[in-house]
Structure 1
Amino acid sequence: MKGNGYASNATVQSALRAFTRFLKENYLIKDLRKVEQCHVKGFAEQLNDRYERGEISASTVQNYLSPVNVAMENARLDTKCRVEGVREAGLPTRTGIATQDQSATLNAHKNALQSVSERLGIQLNLQRELGLRLKESCLMDAKQALNQALTKQNVRIEQGTKGGRPREVPIHAYSQIEALQRAVMVQGNDSSLIPEHQTWAQYQSQVYRELTSQSLHCHQERHHFANAMYERLMGVKSPVQSGISHQSHHAYLASVLSISKSEAKVRDEQVRLCVAEALGHSRISITNNYLG
């Protein structure tokens, strides 16, 4: 197979093995001609998960998706399954430091809500308001979460988390309560927000099909949450939203907040740790992919 200019032959073979295994395990697909773009997006989502867990580097993520795109073009003789890593799937740049804001704008969010199913719209709201991953927003018991939000001012996220690592997301705005109230209505008597007649893999595939025609992906809602939380706690927009480079942002913070550069660095690290924990991470470095 033609190389992609970045990955070695060994990496290409490893990427294709990972993709075929993903197709078999999640969709029971063994023939590449039966693959749709939603399946490639699902694979990209898995790569993003592995990156955020620290299993693979940002450059490896890109090197894994590129040969899959080439393989699908060769198998189908078209580009209908092609997925642009950063723009369409929210994958990190090769450096792991965001240089463009990936947050879903309010207009993009509202437009998506008008086009997708009510259930998916509810889940997009939860992702935006609570910083949830797609799987977390689907497996959540909204009734339990709403009760926690009202009585404890936080929501404990347990189902669908990375490595089963639970976390608590603070409740600070009524819009978060409203998102949970709407989710309770859609959930009804079910135990989660996945339709009772579907498996997670089936529903995930449906979600990606619904979002194919939209100008946003699920990770963009998480990017919005992360950047909004940073601004709320720091009092200044994130580097990527301020148009400031990662290397220059401590000096920028010091200037805007009228504090020393060393104090700006300490505050920035404290806020980034809060953001990382709310997103379900213990590594501050992961926030570079969201905040710049």
Structure 2
Amino acid sequence: MAKAAVFAANAAVQDGAMGFKHAAGIAREFKQFAAFAKANGVKQMEYVTRELVTRYGEQLADRVSNHEIGQGQAQNAVSAINSVMRLATQGEWKSVSPTRECGIDQRSAIRETPPTGLDRAALGDGLAALSERGQAIAELAREFGLRTKETSLLNAQTALREAQTRGAIRVSDGTKGGRPRDVPLNRDNAERQLAALERAAAAQGAARAVMPADRNWKQWSENGLRAIRETLQQHGVDRLHDLRSAYACERYQQLTGHAAPVLGGQAPRGGDRAARLQIAHELGHGRSIITNSYLGASI
């Protein structure tokens, strides 16, 4: 499929329909999509559907939300797939919208709506519908603010022992830029955090991490996580990343005594800044300004 994309792009260059640099770019982006399609049982371009492209775009949307890639990069990737498919179908392809259908954030990185999953009672229905491993992934995101890759690669059994002995867990696998960090148990939520780790450790079983032992990260992210995401969506949680945002909003309340700005609150400037620095560290970010996308902007 990737080779077919190159041929289609090169033909467009020869016809004068696009420049060489643009053709090379869309072929390169399509190659990444082709690997995703193959992992999902689609090996030929004629079997590519809008649903498949949308699923790929939703995966990119999660990476944007986790600040692994930029909005522009994700939007361009979906646009490149649309371009190749239009060439391959001689204009019959109906484009997939990166923002409206895939949920890739617009250029603004300021959260303006409360995260779904903040209400624990409502979240409980979604958790109950998940498998034991799926529940572990969702709970670790909600109780510790971990990225989906971090939850998947976490050795929950080791993390449980760390939490019990030193009051914090070490997160090192799957982190942005490979930077390890400690995420503490907090006074107001320690019992719930420990319970989540106990369940995750049990779900892990004999595997080395929460992720199934018979899958690598690529296979798990393209299939297992998608099933978890879709189940949660059926119960009102828009995205796994919203559980990370819910953690951040809850921590803001705990640290400042005020609701997060996206929930209508606002701590005094000094307290707001200190809380954002702490939350940024716990989420694995080096700059507090990134908390705008979790908490809303300071007033």
Moved more, 174-183 or 67-76: 67-76
User: Which residue among 32, 54, 57 is the counterpart of 1:22?
Assistant: 32
Given that 1:156 and 1:167 are in contact with CA atoms closer than 8 Å, whether structure 2 keeps it comes out as: yes
- Residue 211 of structure 1 aligns with which residue? 229
Opposite residue 109 of structure 1, the aligned amino acid is L
Q: How far apart are residue 83 of structure 1 and its match?
A: 7.1
Distance across 2 between alignment mates of 1:108 and 1:73: 40
| Paired residue secondary structure (2:279) | helix
CA gap of 1:220–1:10, structure 2 versus 1, over 3 A, is: farther
Q: How far apart are residue 128 of structure 1 and its match?
A: 0.3
- Residue 238 of structure 1 aligns with which residue? 260
Moved more, 214-223 or 232-241: 214-223
Given that 1:131 and 1:226 are in contact with CA atoms closer than 8 Å, whether structure 2 keeps it comes out as: yes
Distance across 2 between alignment mates of 1:73 and 1:112: 36
CA gap of 1:195–1:66, structure 2 versus 1, over 3 A, is: closer
- Residue 138 of structure 2 aligns with which residue? 124
Opposite residue 240 of structure 2, the aligned amino acid is C
Unaligned runs of 5+ in 1: 1-8, 245-251, 254-263
Q: How far apart are residue 119 of structure 1 and its match?
A: 0.7
Given that 2:159 and 2:169 are in contact with CA atoms closer than 8 Å, whether structure 1 keeps it comes out as: yes
- Residue 98 of structure 1 aligns with which residue? 111
CA gap of 1:69–1:151, structure 2 versus 1, over 3 A, is: same
CA gap of 1:104–1:168, structure 2 versus 1, over 3 A, is: same
Aligned residues: percent identity? 26
Q: How far apart are residue 87 of structure 1 and its match?
A: 8.9
Moved more, 103-112 or 227-236: 103-112
Given that 1:19 and 1:43 are in contact with CA atoms closer than 8 Å, whether structure 2 keeps it comes out as: no
Given that 2:30 and 2:80 are in contact with CA atoms closer than 8 Å, whether structure 1 keeps it comes out as: no
Higher RCO structure, 1 or 2 (CA under 8 Å, sep 6+): 1
Of the two, which has the highest radius of gyration? 2
User: Which residue among 59, 72, 79 is the counterpart of 1:67?
Assistant: 79
Query: TM-score, normalised on structure 1?
Result: 0.75
Opposite residue 117 of structure 2, the aligned amino acid is A
Establish whether residue 176 from structure 1 lines up as the match of residue 193 from structure 2: yes
Given that 1:131 and 1:222 are in contact with CA atoms closer than 8 Å, whether structure 2 keeps it comes out as: yes
RMSD: 3.3
- Residue 191 of structure 1 aligns with which residue? 208
Distance across 2 between alignment mates of 1:147 and 1:136: 17
Q: How far apart are residue 73 of structure 1 and its match?
A: 8.3
Query: TM-score, normalised on structure 2?
Result: 0.74
Q: How far apart are residue 92 of structure 1 and its match?
A: 4.0
The number of residues matched between the two structures is: 259
| Paired residue secondary structure (2:158) | helix
Q: How far apart are residue 265 of structure 1 and its match?
A: 1.8
- Residue 139 of structure 1 aligns with which residue? 153
- Residue 244 of structure 2 aligns with which residue? 222
